[in-house]
Chain A
Amino acid sequence: MPNPADQRPDPDTLLAHVQQAERHARRGNLRVFFGAAPGVGKSFAMLGAARELKAENVDVVVGYVELHGRAETEALLAGLEILPPLSLEHRGVTLAEFDLDACLARAPKVVIVDELAHTNHPGARHVKRWMDVEELLDAGIDVYTTVNVQHIESLNDIVAQITGVHVRETVPDKVFDNADEVELIDLPPDELLVRLREGKVYVDEKVRHALNSFFRKGNLIALRQLALRATADRVDAAMREYRQDHSIRDTWAAGERILVCVGPDPLSERLVRAARRMATALHAEWLAVYVETPYLVRLSREARDRVLQNLKLAESLGAQTENLSGESVAAELIDFARTHNISKIVVGKPSRPRWRDRLRPSLVDEIARNSGDIDVYVISGEPGAPTIRPPRELHRSSQWPAYLKSVGVVVAITALCALLFKRIELSNLVMLYLLGIVLVAVRLGRGPSVLAAILSVTAFDFLFVPPLDSFAVSDAQYLITFGVMIATGLIISSLAARGKHQARVAQQRERRTGELYALSRELSRRLDLPEINAILVRHVTAMIDGQAAVLLPDAEGHLLDPTHFCTRGTPGKSEMRYPVPGNDLGIAQWAYDHRQTSGHGTDTLASADAIYFPLNALRRCIGVLGFRPKDPRQLSIPEQMHLLESFVNQAAIAMERVQLAHAAQTADTQIASEQLRSTLLASISHDFRTPLASIIGSTSTLLDDASNNLEPSRRRELLRSTLDESQRLHRLVGNLLDLTRLTSGPVDMKREWAAIDEIIGAVLGRLRDAAAKRDIRLQIPDDLPLVRCDEVMIEQVLFNLIENAIKHTPPESPIRITVKAWPAVMEVSVVDSGPGLPPGEEELVFDKFHRGRREAAQSGFGLGLTICKTIIDAHGGQISARNLPEGGAEFRFSLPLDPTQPTA
């Protein structure tokens, strides 16, 4: 009913419209050539339209057209670009199919794809052709296609009712409804029949008989009417949309929501279609639910499959679906309806004898009584439609031991009663029997309890009730005893069954919550990506037996072979390489690219035996989880699928968190290295300027001295200082270069057998002038082992350490260089007897830009020790500095010794 407050368009609806318009701008247009029956000339009209486009120089290609040998249609193809069909091998037969990938690669403006309702051959990417078309539209390609009215999902059953021919190939209504243009190709039934007689309509020999009944005039009239009405509905909808877009006030239904209850019976399919038609008519949202009760739990697998099919059908028709479980269908439905703001409930009225209605109110009655302000629509079932009952044989076979046990219990009680007979009252014996029945009812269920009750009554009557050893009953009051016994058994057993079911449901729910909790707890720790992958595959395979793997993309978004794969809790071995079939990677890639589940049981490449879940995080898809269950039926259980999806979502969020953390860390590092760079620049410019000032000063003095006024000794002094300062600059540049080389990426080392004593000798040779004046004491054993190291780098370390010792200590103080070989390491220490390091800064000296003393006369560059540390670290050794108690500083480094010394 129109609500006065609802005169303005709902903002959400408007937003949805804007979004839809945006999507439309990017999406291709779908133009449907719609007909009432085969042979009305849809393909002909479509190709005619294509020719017109071609004449207007529009880039149009023919993706796929069924010619059925019609010459006039074939003639229209002349001059049009035709995509070669895809050849698919299936069981030795080569089948032609529309080549989706070729078409996407060709990317025309418009593509002609005949027969929208066509079911693709196995091996094609999608199950149905309309899915191919959706992908084309998503890619921004306009599509021209054809559909007959009997292929429209929601009209499917009406057509079947009219014609008696059930068409399996259907197109979801949403595809038809969302088509940008629907062109009705109308042909009066008489003309169609003439065409048919002239052989202008393609008819497969195998179905000729069926089609003959299909092409009856009465049918054709009805079909034409349906097609006309569907088209009119569309025009109507377009008009409404126009009004809405232009804010033309109109009465419109305020937020109707329709709920349909489905079950395993065939009636449910009709219910779903009826609900869909009602929802369309009312422009309402609709939901389909299945309520699992203890009674329905016992359904056969086929019946459960039918439930799933019905839910799937509802989903394909645009419904939200939900699985509920509870004691009473009516109570659960009403409860759900209230929490979900349902305005109308659609239920079926199963045909059943009236006496049963008297005994227990039917579902319809129960719902009607409790629905309150919710409207209830009852759709009647077809007379004689079979109702589904839980199979009995299954239970019987499995319950034989239970019946035997129940007999045993009665025998035991009878034996006990025989002992007590005459000593206690008969009514107390009855109590013993009753106890037995209660036990049987609780433990063994209804059937055994009834059996126990009958046996108990029989035994009690025969053995203990006078007249003894006969079934005759002298006292009518024992009939009450029998009645009570049987009733007790029935009530208790049904209570017990109910309790068991609830326990089972609770257990399942608990298991699910528990598993989710376990997963989220594991994922909440600080983890890296491989760990999350490992956790995910472990949990998935622990829940459903099978193989799971996480596939991650490379930098270009191509998925790589799995990094983690696992079969039931144990990390996979190499022979279980996953995925095995090569094209599985393609299916996974599709899931990644489209952020949709693909593979087994989905709409995309359903023939695969594994399913691929995209790891969709908030901002992007992180990778794909591939899962190949041992029993593929596990995947059709909605509960399992929901749980799997929850797992995947949790893991995806955890992965995104890790990636974001990583990105943040990288940013931090960048900031730190920026800071480092500016410190470095500041430090270097100072270190460069000092020697440069002295060089420029000295040389300019010499140049200015044109008249040779300077003393020769003074000139030499200036020249000497120029040389010294230049060498200082040289060392500084060398250190800078080394530092850059060592800290920008992995250290490129050339490790060879080297002798430390020899390197020390070479360093002292290089430092000859400075070293010659100093008292340098060496303690080096004669038989030092060789070390595997980069000789040039270790020389650099020793040079820096020894030069530091010379520079930072008084000229007369001694310097000691000691080398010791331990079993696993070679240790070198350089000890001076200078002022030592500032207390507390012993370890800081290895930091970049640290100077022993600020403004010291000797510029320390700060880089030398950092270089030493980098080099020693790269060699797997250790370097440290400390002040000695007797004064002076010790720099000590160690290098690992190779246990296998070379022989000469």
Chain B
Amino acid sequence: MSTSRARVLIVEDDPQIQRFLTAALESHGYEPVCAESGAEGLRLATTRQPDVVIVDLGLPDMSGLDVITRLREWFQRPIIVLSARSRESDKVGALDLGADDYLTKPFGVAELLARMRVAMRHHVGGEIQPRVEIGGLVVDLAARRVTRGKEEIHLTPIEYKLFAALIQHRGKVLTHRQLLREVWGAAHVESPQYVRIYMRSLRQKIEDDPARPHYLLTEIGVGYRLSDA
């Protein structure tokens, strides 16, 4: 499987984290490449053509957000962001700039691998399944129908659009702005309350226990994610 080993570029200045990421990724069959600065990261991204880039937002030479902006000028593959807690606005900024997902330090390896898998799947398997199963739910995207067992769940058009957007990016986090743009249109990106209200009614229709959601997960301060499990 050496030929098909996915190459992961790690842009991170902390040697300890570099070391543990390298070890973890190697042991899970990836080929890690390390860069210690933003500039080196951008250079290695062009020369080594990685399949995934992991970018730390706190870099010594330039902002991680700048790295993402520059990368996204030509780089189509997944970017995963590493960030400290309480920097929610940085995370949102990175996601809005085109990062695929984020991880809050400290994080476990399992979490990182899961995020990478989801991100890579979205980039590899571009085609959308017409029929998606989520827990006991079946969503027929062609027929715009959601059923649980035999029973059809009636969704309003906006609820459906919201649900569909999450399904399309299943496992990935979507910021409030991204959801607002996709469902309500670019004019409404500054009205996060829309998402809150429709997400609540969507949960009440889809979740078994809406107060403890299983599928429609909230990423506090960032956005929403449809569980991949």
Contact = CB atoms under 8 A, between A and B. Distances in A.
A786 B211 contact: no
A737 B106 CA distance: 15
Contacts of A760: 211
Contacts of B196: 753-755, 758, 786
Contacts of A795: 220-221
12 contacts: A727-B106, A734-B85, A755-B196, A755-B199, A761-B211, A762-B218, A762-B219, A778-B211, A791-B221, A795-B220, A902-B191, A904-B197
B210 interface: yes
Q: Which secondary structure dominates chain A's binding surface?
A: helix
Interface of A: 726-727, 730, 734, 737-738, 741, 750, 752-755, 757-762, 764-765, 778, 780, 782, 786, 791-792, 795, 902, 904
A738 B193 contact: no
Contacts of B194: 904
B34 to A, nearest CB: 23
B106 A726 contact: yes
Contacts of A780: 211
Q: Which 7 A-B pairs have the closest CB atoms?
A: A753-B193, A902-B193, A792-B221, A904-B197, A762-B218, A795-B220, A778-B211
Contacts of B192: 752-753
Q: In terms of DSSP, what is the predominant structure of the interface of chain B?
A: mixed
B89 to A, nearest CB: 7
B88 interface: yes
Interface of B: 85-86, 88-89, 106, 191-194, 196-200, 204, 210-213, 217-221
A754 B86 CA distance: 17
Given A758-B218, A762-B220, A792-B88, 15 more contacts: A734-B86, A737-B85, A752-B192, A753-B196, A755-B199, A757-B211, A760-B211, A761-B213, A762-B219, A778-B211, A791-B221, A795-B220, A795-B221, A902-B191, A904-B193
A778 B212 contact: yes
Given A782-B204, A786-B197, A904-B198, A765 B86 contact: no
A792 B86 contact: yes
B220 A757 contact: no
B206 to A, nearest CB: 13
B86 A738 contact: yes
Contacts of A734: 85-86
Contacts of B193: 752-753, 786, 902, 904
A761 B221 contact: no
Contacts of B213: 761, 765
Contact of A759 (B106, B210, B218): B218
A758 B200 contact: yes
A795 B222 CA distance: 12
A750 B89 contact: yes
Contacts of A762: 217-220
Contacts of B191: 902
Contacts of A764: 211-212
Nearest to B194: A904
A758 B212 contact: no
Contacts of A778: 211-212
Contact of A765 (B106, B200, B210, B217): B217
Contacts of A765: 212-213, 217-218
Nearest to A819: B211
A750 B192 CA distance: 13
Contacts of A750: 89
A764 B212 CA distance: 7
A727 B198 CA distance: 35
Contact of A741 (B86, B212, B220): B86
